[in-house]
Amino acid sequence: MQIVGICLAIALALVHAVLSQVNIGAVLPERRCFSFAGGVSIGFVFLSVFPALSRAQAQFNQAPLFWLQPLDNPIYLIALLGLTAFYGVDRLVLTTGRFNRTDQDIDRAGRIVFWIHIIAYAMLNAIFGYMLLGLSDHNLGQYLLFFVAIALHFFIIDRGLRERHRTLYDRQGRWLLTAAILAGAITGAVIHLSDVAIALVWSFLAGSTILNILKRELPDAKKSCFWSFLGGAMFYTGLLWFS
């Protein structure tokens, strides 16, 4: 199934490379489109991410690391660290440059913020790419389920990054994110981590993913459509049921 994983990694990379440049609003009502994607993402969190954290905790209990043994649920602590780290990055992005006074300082601060933002998301993308190759014991339906959820997640993340760093993102950012996915997939094909290491990596990824979904993928009430959101959640649930 590694061939399938590589193919899906390439398809995910194309989300950043190509789909970010497509004006979805010209084809579909934007509020319905993003509400649907938000519903899929919430379904992914509650039906896949949380259960995966429970499985990761069970794996860790079989071979715990000595420095985490005093904790009752270390996997959830790692998830909290992932969420906190990306919350810190977001706060830095929002506050950097606020007190700059010259255009040159503002431009320099904007570039620094851009690279901090992009490098953080590139690290996440590399982990996503690696995890695609780590699904070798799953069937094709589960592969596709993971792909659909992450592709929609990337689609909304792209929109947020492009709104904040449009020129830099189009010229450099999207290509770095594209390369990170492929690098992670290639690493997953040649390097196999232990179950405990994968559990720790997945936990950090899960925490950051939960933050991004709750913060970015649930549109404001005035910009959302409840029925599209519900449709997205039911769509993901149906895919999970039949996978």
Q: How far is CA 18 from the centre of its chain?
A: 17
Mean of all residue pLDDT scores within the chain: 79
Residue 97's region, left for phi above 0, alpha for psi from -120 to 50, else beta, is left
Mean predicted confidence (pLDDT) in 52-71: 69
16-44 pLDDT, tens digit each: 888 766 766 666 677 788 788 888 888 88
The pLDDT value given to residue 100: 45
- Judged against a pLDDT cut of 80, whether residue 134 lies above it is answered with no
Inter-residue contact 115 to 173 (CB < 8 Å): no
154-205 pLDDT, tens digit each: 888 887 788 777 788 888 888 999 999 999 989 888 888 777 777 788 888 8
Please tell me whether residue 22 adopts helix, strand or coil conformation.
coil
The pLDDT value given to residue 112: 79
Q: Residue 175: how many CB atoms within 10 A of its CB?
A: 15
215-236 pLDDT, tens digit each: 766 656 666 778 888 898 899 9
The pLDDT value given to residue 234: 92
Listing DSSP states for 106-123 in one string gives: HHHHHHHHHHHHHHHHHH
- Name the amino acid, one letter, at 123: M
69-113 pLDDT, tens digit each: 556 677 888 889 989 988 888 887 777 655 444 445 446 667 778
CB-neighbour burial class of residue 24 (10 A; exposed 0-12, middle 13-18, buried 19+): middle
Mean predicted confidence (pLDDT) in 117-133: 87
Alpha helices in the chain (DSSP H): 2-17, 30-44, 50-62, 74-95, 103-133, 140-164, 166-168, 174-190, 195-216, 226-242
